[in-house]
Structure 1
């Protein structure tokens, strides 16, 4: 089933909105247990990636709500680009940079009163939240090559350092 909104991996404190994917508190069955481990591992990896960026870039540690969404996005992209440049310069990049690739410009979304209220109702739909999570449970269960170990293996070829993961994760975003 196609979903209209992107979603974020979150922990249990967030509400059941269609834009949040929470793990199960007490999963029953192998499908839900596998989903819980995969979701929690992915969340942990992303948190570590942002933690590593915050260690390197002081501006990411400070509260910057007053700057506005556009300025925050520029700051985050700048830190990611600089981080990736440092990793590449050190010879630890895991994929090549393509100078010919263009990133499409995004336009700000302007929403009127009724459209805003409709979108708000859609996002707060708990049925859609549960449908999305159940679809993700089925998808994750069908993926065979997911490593469910929380700790890296002793095989150095399969291990990524925090910096390698950050490069991989943020090149995907960009």
Structure 2
């Protein structure tokens, strides 16, 4: 089990509520590429966008992911540079609380697991984010204008 979901299972995940296209979501979501499984809090990129709307979504997501990666690399390098300096005090008497407050297999665990593993929520969230990005005019993708795509895509789309 991934520690990424521990806070959700323990009921202590921060409330990152947001609305997209009139639907409310409680937990934050993570931008992912195709190698990750479909989860309610993962928004995977589209490997083969088949219309302008999905292409815009894919480009917006790739742009955001590249910014996140640059930030990660910068922070990683800062940590490496500062490797000799302690970033926090060490207390050998400190008691670290258990990170697993739930019992695996319990009803509570299974209910939260069902929320996290909900594939339908993954697809609906991605569809709504695609719709949102499509109607937002101020997203500058610094990519080929959609007019340059010619008739490569039809105006009809299936979500």
| CA shift digits 1:105-164 (9 cap, x unpaired) | xxx8954521211111111111111000001001111111111016xxxxxxxxxxxxxx
Tell me the number of residue pairs that the alignment of Structure 1 and Structure 2 aligns. 106
TM-score (norm 2): 0.60
Which has the larger strand fraction?
2
Number of the residue aligned with 1:162: none
- Tell me if 1:141 matches 2:131: no
Structure index of larger Rg: 2
| Structure 1 residue runs of 4 or more that deviate by more than 3 Å after TM superposition | 108-112
Gaps of 5+ in 2: 1-22, 89-98, 144-159
Q: Give the deviation of 1:6 after TM superposition.
A: 1.3
Structure 2: how far apart are the matches of 1:134 and 1:45?
22
Asked if 2 retains the 8 angstrom alpha-carbon contact of 1:54 and 1:60, the reply is no
Structural RMSD (CA): 2.4
Asked if 2 retains the 8 angstrom alpha-carbon contact of 1:17 and 1:125, the reply is yes
TM-score (norm 1): 0.55
What are the residue-to-residue correspondences of 1:94-113 with 2, within 5 Å? 110-111=101-102, 113=106
Q: Among residues 100, 107, 112, which one is paired with 1:119 in the alignment?
A: 112
- Tell me if 1:35 matches 2:57: yes
What are the residue-to-residue correspondences of 1:47-126 with 2, within 5 Å? 47-58=69-80, 110-111=101-102, 113-126=106-119
Structure 1: how far apart are the matches of 2:65 and 2:133?
15
Which has the larger helix fraction?
1
What are the residue-to-residue correspondences of 1:146-165 with 2, within 5 Å? 146-149=139-142
Q: Give the deviation of 1:14 after TM superposition.
A: 0.6
Structure 1: how far apart are the matches of 2:52 and 2:82?
39
